[in-house]
Chains A and B, each alone.
Chain A
Amino acid sequence: MKPFTRVAGVAVPFLEDDVNTDQIAPVGGGVRFGEDYAQTFFRHRRRLADGTENPDFIFNQPDYKSPVIVVTGKNFGCGSSRESAVWALQAIGVSCIVARSFADIYRENCLQNGVLPIVLSDEAAERMESATIAAGGKQDFTVDLEERTIRGPDGLTLTFDISPSDRTRLLEGLDDIGLTMKSLDDIRAFERKALSARPWAQRADINVVRD
């Protein structure tokens, strides 16, 4: 995974609550194997009923065509666990999402892909939202994970919290599986213990352990 230290660029004020992953990366109406996630990105909302581009949809507006930061409301990414809802944002260049809150699975999917999910307190979120609207896509914001700050036009400086473990993982771009594999001895010990404590959970006649 690519390490995340610092990004700078356009922030888009997508101020809606409960944006679900069916909107971000729709499958309704059929799936495509090996799809292009930039095409998937808000596939329905980006277009009007006649198939032409919807000029009111904020991601279609010229100043917001290549955002790096998305500023949004509560419970972002709720619904389906599909990871394509993170890949779709990455495909258009987004690497940081600033929200009032995230759905649990979506936040996890962000961390797995090197996308920084920032949760701000209500007060800080209000400042971020107004600064983003005021910037109108014409002035850049900088997010620095090392210092845990967001800087923007007119001297805006906000600090954010993130758990030390999530921060380290993003900063170092750690491979999650590699990290867990360091605990392989614990896993093996657990398996032996579990097999005698709750053998019914692992039916013996279909049981082959492979390391």
Chain B
Amino acid sequence: MGRSLFDKIWDAHFVGTRLDGRDLLFIDRHILHELHAPHAFKKLKAAGRKVRRPDLTFAALDHTPSSAPGRDENTNPEGKPFIEAVRAGSRENGVRVFDLGDPEHGISHVVAPELGMVLPGATHAVPDSHACTVGGLGALAFGCGTTELEHVMATQVIALNRPRRMRIRLDGRLGPHASAKDVALKILAQIGVSGGRGHVIEFAGQVAKDLSVEGRLTLCNLTIEMGSRSGLVAPDDKTFDWIHGRSWAPQGAMWDRALQDWRSLPSDDDATFETDIAVNCDGLAPQITWGTDPSQVIDIGGRVPDLPDAPVNQRNAIERAMAYMGVTPGQPLDGLPVDRVFIGSCANARLPDLQEAANLVRGRRVAQGVHALVSPGSGRVKREAEALGLDRIFKDAGFVWGESACSMCAGANGDAGQAGERILSTTNRNFENRQGKGVRTHLVGPALAAAAAITGAISDVRKLTGGQA
């Protein structure tokens, strides 16, 4: 019987069945981060254990550092003890830290692919739910909790029950200014925030093929929002070209060997999936969330839905989301004033995301009263953007050109909005209070974020450009 991409990676990393019946899966490389690792280091030490494979273990400092221009570890004092604890634990265990100022510093999910640390067909783990981002390269990643992290540190394997397989076929060609983020939001609108539960999703179809590698990383980034264990896109020549020459990518004869292996990864024609669905993306418009979960999504030209005929607790939840967001049933979002715009995060802060936003911003000004911040996803993205002059475009327009970190995505670095503020954000979670208490977050792709910064309101970017992407 044919095997799927997921099956091939799983089988190639299957170590054995543990006494309790769980499968042990070898983790090729994993990255820990300062928010959760200190606790794991502490428990590891208390148990008299060490990191078993320090050569495959890396530490990111992404959640807590300030993203203010010129920041250092003292800029956000609350983050400092976390940073120091990770440095100490890493030193004791021989783990490399991508420290502030290191050329490879950045958000772990951005750094791992761009460094060539995570490769097609590989397994990856991060104590962070967006580990799934690297699925865009055809790697299988698992987000985990702190105790599971400690387990990976001590053993280099993860203990799981084999997830089910889901394939989402993405049909058609996207409309102007629609990007990978819009595809992900469209899927979320269709399958909801628990539609993928218990599954690993493979994204297939024309849209997955057409997306850039960075776009595939964005798409896979949001698979956790669909409730799934992880997400994948089959690697192809585009993927291989993208990886070729990256710092840690195999070279020479080793590259040829790896390539031969990677070409056998895509799902066989007769592979089966427990769940198989299609999402029509033909002519897809830019998407925007109106509520407080990432499946509450409409077209930019659409209206907030009417209250559904639903059981009372579901209806209450929707009413609460509307009240929190300050929107009403049937209301268009287009034209609603915004207070802040944030372009950043592991969802949408790779170079093409910044280029897309910069193209719209070039020669224009951020609207009066709007606070607009760009935080590149990694130090490398920042350098590449600066080499292209994107920093100037943003700064000339009145954006703050920040340092790389998670920044306003989770508000863990102290960077947050004020209660009642409306933020257009290229991040992946619009949960209540995520970007600060009482802050109203609308998730969008870089194009809508840039359009809002310029106009000072939620705006249909297609009108701004006459539909010319």
Residue numbers of A with Cβ under 8 A of B are 15-18, 20, 22-23, 26-34, 44-45, 49, 73-75, 78-83, 86, 101, 103-105, 108-109, 112-113, 163-165, 168-169, 174, 176-177, 179-184, 186-187, 190-191, 194, 197-203, 206-211
Contact = CB atoms under 8 A, between A and B. Distances in A.
Contacts of B36: 82-83
Closest 9 pairs (CB-CB, A-B): A186-B16, A28-B411, A33-B81, A200-B250, A112-B147, A165-B20, A75-B194, A83-B145, A109-B145
A20 B428 CA distance: 13
Interface string B364-377: 00000000000000
Given A75-B227, A190-B26, A200-B257, A31 B432 contact: no
Nearest to B441: A28
A45 to B, nearest CB: 8
A189 to B, nearest CB: 8
A22 B431 contact: yes
B356 interface: no
Interface in B23-52: 24, 26, 28-29, 35-36, 38-39, 47, 49-50, 52
Contact of B143 (A49, A105, A182): A105
Contacts of B161: 163
Contact of B146 (A83, A186, A207): A83
A177 B433 contact: no
Main secondary structure of the interface of B (DSSP, over half): loop
Interface in B131-168: 143-148, 150-151, 154-157, 159, 161, 163
Contacts of A78: 193-194, 227
B128 interface: yes
A60 B350 CA distance: 43
A180 B154 CA distance: 10
A187 B432 contact: no
B147 A198 contact: no
A101 B13 CA distance: 29
B429 A22 contact: yes
Interface of B: 12-13, 15-16, 18-22, 24, 26, 28-29, 35-36, 38-39, 47, 49-50, 52-56, 63-64, 78-79, 81-82, 85, 94, 96, 119, 121-122, 127-129, 143-148, 150-151, 154-157, 159, 161, 163, 193-194, 197-198, 224-225, 227-229, 248-250, 254-255, 257-258, 261, 293, 313-314, 317, 410-414, 416, 419, 429, 431-439
A201 B254 CA distance: 11
Contact of A209 (B15, B53, B85, B157): B53
A30 B414 contact: yes
A187 B412 contact: no
Given A73-B313, A75-B194, A27 B411 contact: yes
A176 B148 CA distance: 9
Contacts of B49: 177
Contacts of B21: 163-165
Contacts of B419: 49
Contacts of A200: 119, 249-250, 254-255, 257-258
B24 to A, nearest CB: 6
Nearest to B22: A165
A194 to B, nearest CB: 7
Contact of B157 (A169, A180, A207): A180
A75 B438 contact: no
Given A31-B412, A207-B55, A108 B432 contact: no
B64 A31 contact: yes
